Structure 1
Amino acid sequence: MMQVADETVKDTVTGVEHGAIEGHSIDFIPDNERTDRLSRQGPFWFLGNFTFFTMTIGFVGPSIGLSALWTTIAGTLGIMFGTLFMAFHGSQGPHLGLPQMIQSRAQFGYRGVIVVLLATLFVFAGFNIVNLVLMMQGLKALFNWDPVKVALAVTLPASILAILGHDWMHRSFKWALYLSLPLYGLVTVAVLMHWVHDVPLAAVAPGATPTPPLGFGWIAFIAQFAAAASYNIAYAPYVSDYSRYLPKNTPAGKLIAAVFLGASLSGAWMIAIGGWLADHLHATDVLVALNQVGSDLAPGMGSVVVGVTILAFLPVIAMNIYSAKLTTITAVDSFRKVKTTPRTRILAILFVVVLQLGVALSIYTSGKGLSVLNIYLVVMLYFLVPWTAVNLTDYFFVRKGRYAIPHFFLPDNNLYGKWGARGLIAYVIGFVSMIPFFCVLDGTNEVYIGPLSRAMGGVDLAWLVGLFVSGLAYYALSRSLDLKHEASVIASIEKTSPQYTTGDKGRY
């Protein structure tokens, strides 16, 4: 796994080196290098959502009339729904030892996977673009810091962490959790005190004109639900990237539960705080709002809250860069065979970093950070829903976890073909079926509302339609698959190369 001997400490049992630069990228992880632990998955995904960015998901409901309480309920239900898909994807990592998007070649083909790779690259880079814009806006408003310098100061250490790779990512997430947990605990106590007693923060200007209280509306409730669901469905392409170093015999049920609990608990927590900030403080900039809450706790505490918030968020930015790097390499490898060397990984990371910095600076200068976030969350969900439905249907109901792992890396004469017609057709059918149900809003302004969504008063059910249609379409199209032939090929591979086994009769 590791290739830099003078920076490593070897495991006395396996001989695997720990603490150095990761040696793998999109390739298969051998059994003797599966040294990760199940106990790290829950805290890892808890921290992934335990960020100021997740709070902004709670801004969606109040921006269209939903109260903090109803925002919390809708956000909690949505985050739990989205985490279900994310968690089930996580079980693929230890079972196959592959990054998520390499495994998608089984459904979409060696080259056909480029369709979903572009969608997932949009997600990985897009998250960091919005993150950077929010940080640039917040730190400019609070401390008048230069936005370009902020973007570079945040991106550089995150990029180094992404280059160091898997083990370093897990370490950084652990320390970030130690930093952020007590601080966000204090913020939560402050918010609860004001929420329960309905006491205004000291920083709220006295004599300000009171605004009408927010309430409930089905359209706003479903919009908040969809935003929260999309947030964790968007994690689906990530999870195997960080679970593939777990031992092959890791219990799937326990892994799914660990990912689900970690990601959904922190997500619901942060969305609740975000909903309160948006409802009671009318916040549109999360860092400014956190500074206000911190300053109400103690003089100077606002700056501490903001500083720790940014510092604890660096590993999440690194995670986005890391997964975007894997997606970029997979995309190139689909058309031109790539050697998985450290140089290749660094070049892919540079490409991702330059892309996200350029787009983030462009959006920042437009002054539309929050509106871009709202639109991005919805559009992201539209692109990912057909993929996650096809991928999970194939893994759990069609091939049931049985794959010819070496064939994922064969450009020609592989079991899955260059263009996986079944997966691509199901993806397109699912996406097209969603269009009449699209409901994209910029606050209360319409961006695009499909005819069926308009007929239902602007309710957005596109994601639900896409899940069922894509999954059912793929299952129907897969009835013609020659699974007996695939089983014979897999059995031959496992006989000659037992490290590639995926279970005698499949695990699902």
Structure 2
Amino acid sequence: MNTPPERPTAASSTTLKVETRSIDYVPRHERHGKVWHQAPFWFTGNFVLTTMVTGFTGAALGLSLMYAILAIVIGVCLGTFAMAFHANQGPRMGLPQMVQSRAQFGLRGAIVPFIAVVFVYIGFNVFNVILATDAINTVLPGERAPWYALMIILAVIIAVVGHDLLHTVQRWLTYVMISVFTVLTVAALMSLQADSAVVGAHFSWSAFLIQLSAAAGYQISYAVYVSDYSRYLPHTTPTRSVVTWTYLGAAGSALWLMSLGAFLASALPSPDAIASVQAVGNQVIPGFGTFTVLIAVPALVGIMAVNCYGAMLTGISAIDGFISIKPRLKSESSASAWWPRSFS
């Protein structure tokens, strides 16, 4: 495989603008960004109520909190390895991850994994938009359809603007989510008693392995598109840095929220991601729980945008297997060749 010739030009502007590369190869002179940005991107990507729900699994099966958290730690640590190492493909190849699969499956044969991945995107976004609407309905009860439409539109707009806006949104949300959920976590630890709601909490290999598998599988699911968000990094970015920052961000938020979910599930009789957060937060300051639930909505919209972006790249890649597609928006220094075609 030969990459297009690189032209020595000035470094790309950091001004936020609509992405032009789509599924095209990102030339080295257009690479930009800081490797540590991978950490907040994936921290917020995982810091959603969906992640917390994954932590409910062990308690629901009668597993005591200590063993539930142990299963979560093992599952997250193992699953994130599979995800984080794929992030290194981005700066090395400069291509969306699904386009890279053409090397194994061929130009048209790659449609098989494309279809599977699209279902992953759809599944996540359906669950996320339902949770986000439930959160909004705690304050504004009523019709759900308008909220579904609004959040999907917002997610699509962010995705269409592309890579840089996604990173900006996720990075700034990280600071907000850490601040708010730190208070919530402390409140939960101070006001709730672990295992008080799990009758006969005990160790069970089946429950332990199910919780471990749920945590690991949740993390591994990001492996199919993690390098989409590292492909604009300079090609000289050290492998260790890409993997480490991605790992720290994705694993850190998953360990936090899944463990918090396990704790809430062990301490509350009927754990529910939204109701539990609202109840615990309101014990600290009246209305804080409701505020926390609403703060979780932008994070859900953010990861929906990430999924929409990945789905668009995958869809375009599939169509390009039959009809050659080139971006309509042209960058100031477009590559001279349609590099993904070299995988045919």
Q: Flag whether TM exceeds 0.5 (same fold).
A: yes
Please tell me whether residue 30 in structure 1 is matched to residue 17 in structure 2: no
Q: Relative to structure 1, is the Cα distance of residues 211 and 173 closer, same or farther in structure 2, using a 3 angstrom cutoff?
A: closer
For residues 477-488 of structure 1, the aligned pairs below 5 Å read none
AA partner of residue 14 (structure 1): A
Alignment of 1:136-155 (within 5 A): 136-140=133-137, 143-155=140-152
The 3 A distance-change label for structure 1 pair 198 and 91 is closer
| TM-score, L = length of structure 1 | 0.62
Paired residue for 2:219?
Answer: 232
SS in 1 for 2:224: coil
Contact residue 47 and residue 299 of structure 2 kept, 8 A? no
Identical-pair percentage: 38
Deviations 1:295-347 (A, max 9, x none): 1111111211111111233211110111111111111111222222359xxxx
Question: How far 1:48 moved relative to its partner?
Answer: 1.3
Tell me: CA distance 1:220–1:171, structure 2 relative to 1, closer, same or farther (3 Å): same
Q: Whole-Å Cα distance in 1 between the matches of residues 104 and 225 of structure 2?
A: 18
Match of 2:164 in 1: 167
CA deviation map 1:76-106 (0-9, x unaligned)? 1111111101111000000010000011100
Q: Determine the structure 2 residue equivalent to 1:401.
A: none
SS in 2 for 1:244: coil
3-state SS, counterpart of residue 18 of structure 1: coil
Instruction: Report the CA distance between 1:150 and its aligned residue.
Output: 2.1
**Residue in 2 that maps onto 1:98:** 95
Structure 1 position 194 matched with structure 2 position 181 = no
Match of 2:310 among 307, 312, 323: 323
Instruction: Choose from 280, 297, 320 the match for 1:333.
Output: 320
Matched, 1:50 2:37: no
User: For residues 215 and 136 of structure 1, do their structure 2 counterparts lie closer, same or farther at Cα, with a shift above 3 Å needed?
Assistant: farther
What is the distance in 1 between the residues matched to 2:252 and 2:38? 14
Quick check: 1:67–1:275 contact (8 Å CA) kept in 2?
A: no
Is 1:409 the equivalent of 2:340? yes
Task: Indicate if the aligned counterparts of 1:16 and 1:32 stay in contact, CA closer than 8 A.
Answer: no
Q: What is residue 36 of structure 2 aligned with on the other side?
A: 39
Aligned partner (choices 94, 112, 118) of residue 115 of structure 2:
118
More RCO (CA 8 Å, sep 6+) = 2
Deviation at 1:143, TM superposition (A): 4.6
Residue type at the aligned position of 1:323: G
Q: Secondary structure at the match of 1:236?
A: helix
Q: Report the TM-score, using the length of structure 2 for normalisation.
A: 0.90
Task: Tell me the equivalent position of 1:488.
Answer: none
Query: Could you tell me whether the CA contact under 8 Å between 1:106 and 1:408 is conserved in 2?
Result: no
Residue 71 of structure 2 is matched in structure 1 by 74
Cα deviation, 1:263-308, whole Å, max 9, x if unaligned, reads: 1111111000111122211344311111111111111112111111
Letter matched to residue 278 of structure 2: N
Give the partner amino acid of 1:318.
Answer: A
Number of aligned residue pairs: give it.
330
Among 290, 296, 307, which residue is 2:294 paired with?
A: 307
SS at match of 2:222: coil
Counterpart of 1:244 in structure 2 is: 231
Conservation of the 8 A alpha-carbon contact between 2:72 and 2:211: yes
CA distance in 2, matches of 1:198, 1:57: 17
Sort the Cα spacing of 1:147 and 1:31 in 2 relative to 1 into closer, same or farther, 3 A. Answer: same
Shifted more, 86-95 versus 310-319: the winner is: 310-319
Partner of 2:126: 129
CA distance in structure 1 between the partners assigned to 2:17 and 2:129 by the alignment:
28
Aligned residue in 2 for 1:450: none
1:204-223 CA distance string (max 9 Å, x none): xxxxxx76142221111111
Cα deviations across residues 15-57 of structure 1 (Å, max 9, x unaligned)? 5462111111100001111011112111211111122211011
Q: 1:342 to 1:52 in 2, by over 3 A?
A: farther
* Structure 1 moving runs of 4+ over 6 Å: none
Q: Which amino acid aligns with 1:251?
A: P
Give per-residue Cα distances to partners, 1:247-278, cap 9 Å, x unaligned: 00100112111111111111111000111122
CA distance in 1, matches of 2:155, 2:52: 21
Unaligned runs of 5+ in 2: 1-8, 331-336
Alpha-carbon distance in 2 for matches of 1:59, 1:143: 26
Match of 1:297 in 2: 284
1:112 to 1:15, Cα distance in 2 relative to 1, 3 A: closer
Q: Is the 8 A contact 2:19 2:161 kept in 1?
A: yes
- 1:261 aligned residue: 248
Residue of structure 2 aligned with 1:62, choices 59, 62, 69: 59
Letter in structure 2 aligned against 1:293: V
Amino acid at match of 2:34: R
Is the counterpart of residue 287 in structure 1 residue 274 in structure 2? yes
Letter in 2 for 1:260: Y
> Based on CA coordinates, which of the two structures has the bigger radius of gyration?
1
* Deviation digits for residues 380-418 of structure 1 (CA, Å, limit 9, x no counterpart): xxxxxxxxxxxxxxxxxxxxxxxxxx79633xxx5x55x
112 and 408 in structure 1: CA distance in 2 versus 1, 3 angstrom threshold: farther
